[in-house]
Amino acid sequence: MGKRFTDISKWTNNKWYFNLSIESKLFWIYLLDSCDSVGVWEENIKLANITIGYTYSLDTLLKDFKKQIYIFKDNRKWWIKDFCDFQYGILKEDSLSKPIQSYISLLKKHSLWIVYEKGIDTLKEKEKDIEKERVEEKEKEQIIYPFGDKDFLEFWDLWKRYKKEQFRFVYKPIGEQAALKKIGEISRQNKDIAMKIIFQSMSNGWQGLFALKTDFDKSGMYDEFRLKNIKTMADGLS
Amino acid sequence: MDLVKFKTKEEFLVEYGIKNCIERYSGMRSLAEIVDTKSITLASVKRLYGVAFIISYINEWIVSLNEFVNIQRKMSPEQIEKTSGYILDDFYYLKIPDIYFLFSEAKKGRYGEFYESLDGAKIMSWFDKYTEQRAEFCFKEGMREHEKTKDSKIF
């Protein structure tokens, strides 16, 4: 009597399986038990109907399982795409394991080995991209700007474009966050000074962000503050 | 006790605006001259015109120092405001000529190098140094006066 692994979490943690009708759920289990050792099932709906005790519509099954199965060109066989990975892990041609070699032979016999390899690589790349995208999105969401002002955000975008054009440099989220922290510090949390710092670097062709040079700084750093002091002292003067 | 009384803020500013202080006291080069000058204390200014006034006044002194020195990291308005508050808290007994003398000594580098930055802690340390020197001077002057009086007693 053959035995196979089953995913016990499919009942609650698998959204696709959860949303299947009761009949399709039962068919899926039948499919997993009836396929060969590499997940290939020779399509025989009539037999399935008799065995399970329910009359299935082929169209409904194809619709329910379209992502999970690979239909052979002659429509006579179905291949459960993730079957091998779930049961045995990723199959490698250089494996010394006899069972693994037998599975690979069977896949080759079904002319599925190339599809299997392609699927794994594509899947891996896809997963990597998805993961990378997910991490980048997460990091992007978490970027904290020293000033939420629209003017500053536009200036910051300009700075990033300048870095890309001039130095072929693109900030990673961590690097961008560090640069934003730096500009917050060297501008002493003053948005106008921060924008002047960006302008100073771009107009001088600099790669980095630096505190405003003194002569630039003299052009009004304390103007507002002095005005405030004078108004306070003048308050009440005739 | 105030040696000089002012009626209005205008009179005070005419007398003790920064430019006027520089003109009036620029000839004074020693503690003796500064201490002997009749003037008003920071505490008295606060009492007469309110805390906002005196803080703004001290702010202007600190701003003038920041604008005078050629350093990379100047003080922010918030830092200046806080420092003025601390000066008023700890050194309320100082007079306007003392403030002038301290800041002019700082500009001349008598309290040491700036090392490219200026901050509240640095300024407060100058005030500590200045008041120490001032206290020592006043003590010695007091002793000298006491000796004079002692010698002149006739039995």
Instruction: List the single residue in B with minimal CA-CA distance to A188.
Output: B76
pLDDT at res. B1:
40
Bridge partner list, B95: B41
pLDDT at res. B90:
95
Please state, for a pLDDT cut of 70, what percent of chain A lies above it: 88
Burial track B111-148 (b if 16+ CB lie within 10 A, e otherwise): beebeeebebebbeebbeebbeebeeeeeeeeeeeeee
Backbone angles phi, psi at B6, to 5 degrees: -115, 145
Backbone angles phi, psi at B3, to 5 degrees: -85, -20
In chain B, residues 22-51 whose CB comes closer than 8 Å to chain A? none
Q: What is the DSSP letter of A39?
A: S
Low-confidence ranges of chain A (pLDDT < 70): 1, 120-127, 129-130, 136-141, 213-220, 236-238
pLDDT at res. B88:
96
pLDDT at res. B3:
44
Instruction: List the single residue in A with minimal CA-CA distance to B78.
Output: A225
| Residue B51 contacts residue B59 (beta carbons within 8 Å) | no
Smallest Cβ distance to A229: which of B56, B66, B76? B56
Yes or no, beta carbons of B77 and A225 under 8 Å apart: yes
Q: How far is CA A113 from CA A36, A78, A103, A147, in A?
A: 15, 15, 10, 55
Instruction: List the single residue in B with minimal CA-CA distance to A213.
Output: B72
Bridge partner list, B73: B117
Query: Does the structure's ipTM exceed the value 0.90?
Result: no
Query: In chain A, what residues touch B59 (CB-CB under 8 Å)?
Result: 225, 229
In 3-state terms chain A splits into helix, strand, coil percentages (rounded to 5) of 60, 5, 35
Residue type, A149: D
Say whether A206 sits in a helix, a strand or coil.
Answer: coil
Yes or no, beta carbons of B8 and A225 under 8 Å apart: no
Q: What is the DSSP letter of B117?
A: B
Question: How far is the alpha carbon of B10 from chain A, nearest alpha carbon, in Å?
Answer: 6
Residue A18 to residue A54: CA distance in whole angstroms: 20
pLDDT tens-digit series, residues B112-153: 877 778 899 999 999 999 999 999 888 888 888 777 766 555
Query: In chain B, what residues touch A222 (CB-CB under 8 Å)?
Result: 63, 66-67, 77
Residue A120 to residue A90: CA distance in whole angstroms: 8
pLDDT at res. A90:
85
pLDDT at res. B153:
54
Residue B37 to residue B56: CA distance in whole angstroms: 23
pLDDT at res. A123:
57
Residue A143 to residue A184: CA distance in whole angstroms: 13
pLDDT at res. A216:
41
Two structure tokens written together for A185: 């510090």
Bridge partner list, A40: A79
Low-confidence ranges of chain B (pLDDT < 70): 1-7, 149-155
Which candidate, A147, A53, A220, A88, places its Cα nearest to that of B66?
A220
Instruction: Please report, to the nearest 10 degrees, the dihedral formed by the alpha carbons of residues A182, A187, A192, A194 taken in order.
Output: -20
A123 and chain B in contact, CB less than 8 A: no
